[in-house]
Amino acid sequence: MPGLTFKHIAPFLSTGQNKASRILSYGGLGIGVLLLLCSIQMYVNINRLLKNKNPKKDGYDYISLTKTITNENMARDHSFSQQDIDELKKQPGIEDVSPLLANQFLVRATGGSNLPFSTDFFLEAIDEKFIDTVPPSFTWKEGQPVIPVIVSSDYLELYNTVFAPSRELPQFSENSIMAIVIQLECYGTLGKQNFGGQIVALSDRINSVLVPRNFLEWANNRFGGPNKVQPNRIYIKTRDANQPELLSFLQQKNYRVNKDKTKFGRVKQVLQAIVSGLAGFGLLVILLALVLFSFYLQLMIARSKENLQLLLTIGYSPHWLSITVAKRWIPVYIGVVIAALASTALLQWGFQRMVMNDSELVSPWVHWMVFLVAAVLLLVSVTVNFRLVKKLLYRL
């Protein structure tokens, strides 16, 4: 039916009726869409802000376990036996277990002429898959004089804030510390050897001084002798460090859990839950607005029923009528969604400028996901609208 538009049939429909309900549904739709878009944007912001502080990798928590030392059991052995490790592996919440291998010889670290300090030191090794930052240089072959070392980022902070000022030593940034080679003097009953130690990465997850496992095994054997010592500390990999079954098992075994590293994860989880709740509320408001609008449409079609029936009788196609009547509200929907999108953009800009003080961590622009959701919402609203009109018209 070329050339025919809504304008032709408009006088035959009582579209002007019930204006308040129509405007209310537009307003509701706008508020709902705004809530949803803002929630998504905040979700993105939270993820960006807490990205560097979240030790979760691929959705896992990595937490360290030790046996709790009390006044009563101080004298006892607090290492983990192979049986303890096997038992941990069987726990449903635990995906993987890795013991921390410790040095069985003495280590002394010295800074050389540029960095005049000397201290007793320790080294540990763990499965590489448990380390959050493993550069390709974190390898050692027998005969290699420089040992790559991964240090907890907390240690660098302690060094910079406490150790260095008290001894008038230079402070280091994360990058500059990696340029320094310290001396590691390894000695035990079976011998002594000097190595260079170069920090190749900082770990947010593992609180230790880590060297490649094959080096530590070799060095334990070389300087400490063949007697194997059981690990005192173990890392576990779990989906959720806060699941009750896991916690009660660990408590029952009297294991001490270091959950410091999961705290940011918890904060993030809580914030994400709040934002998700807000998004859910936004969706609910959108749903209510669409329902209200559908009432308006039903009322309009009921009021125009005789005329619509007659239009169908004189040859108007029900499909054309559905599309034309439904199309009438597409510009309104587009307007509402664009207004909500513009408000979201303004709020995000304000959030970045005023609340975050122009921080680079948060973009002043709206994330592409928000645009995508806005487009999907528009499509859903228009489709729901069209299907409803079509259903009502075919029922006539």
Partner 1 sequence: MQIELRQVVPLFIEEEKITGSGLWKNDLEFTPAERVQIVAPSGSGKTSLIHFLYGMRKDFSGTIAYDGENINSLGAEKLATYRQKHLSIVFQDLRLFTGQTVLENLEIKRALHPYHTANPIETMARRLGIHNKLGKISKTCSYGEQQRIAIIRSLLQPFDFLLLDEPFSHLDDNNRKKAMELMEEEAHIRKAAIILADLKPTSFYQPTRTINL
- Where along the sequence are the contacts to partner 1 (CB under 8 A)? 1, 3-4, 8-9, 11-12, 307, 310-319, 394
> Which of residues 256 and 390 has its CB atom nearest to partner 1 in the complex?
390
d(CA 82, CA 234): 11
CB of 301 to partner 1, least distance (A): 16
Structure tokens belonging to residue 390 = 């079509």
Burial class for 163, CB neighbours closer than 10 Å (0-12, 13-18, 19+): middle
CB of 300 to partner 1, least distance (A): 15
CB of 326 to partner 1, least distance (A): 16
Tokens 């989906």 correspond to 239
> Which of residues 69 and 310 has its CB atom nearest to partner 1 in the complex?
310
> Which of residues 314 and 354 has its CB atom nearest to partner 1 in the complex?
314
> Which of residues 273 and 310 has its CB atom nearest to partner 1 in the complex?
310
Look at strands 124-125 and 118-121 and give their pairing: unpaired
CB of 240 to partner 1, least distance (A): 55
Tokens 């098992």 correspond to 249
d(CA 118, CA 171): 16
CB of 20 to partner 1, least distance (A): 23
CB of 394 to partner 1, least distance (A): 7
> Which of residues 11 and 59 has its CB atom nearest to partner 1 in the complex?
11
Could you tell me the sign of the dihedral formed by the alpha carbons of 66, 71, 77, 81, in that order? Answer: negative
> Which of residues 284 and 310 has its CB atom nearest to partner 1 in the complex?
310
| Cα–Cα distance list, 155 to 99, 102, 174, 248, 369 (Å) | 21, 18, 11, 31, 38
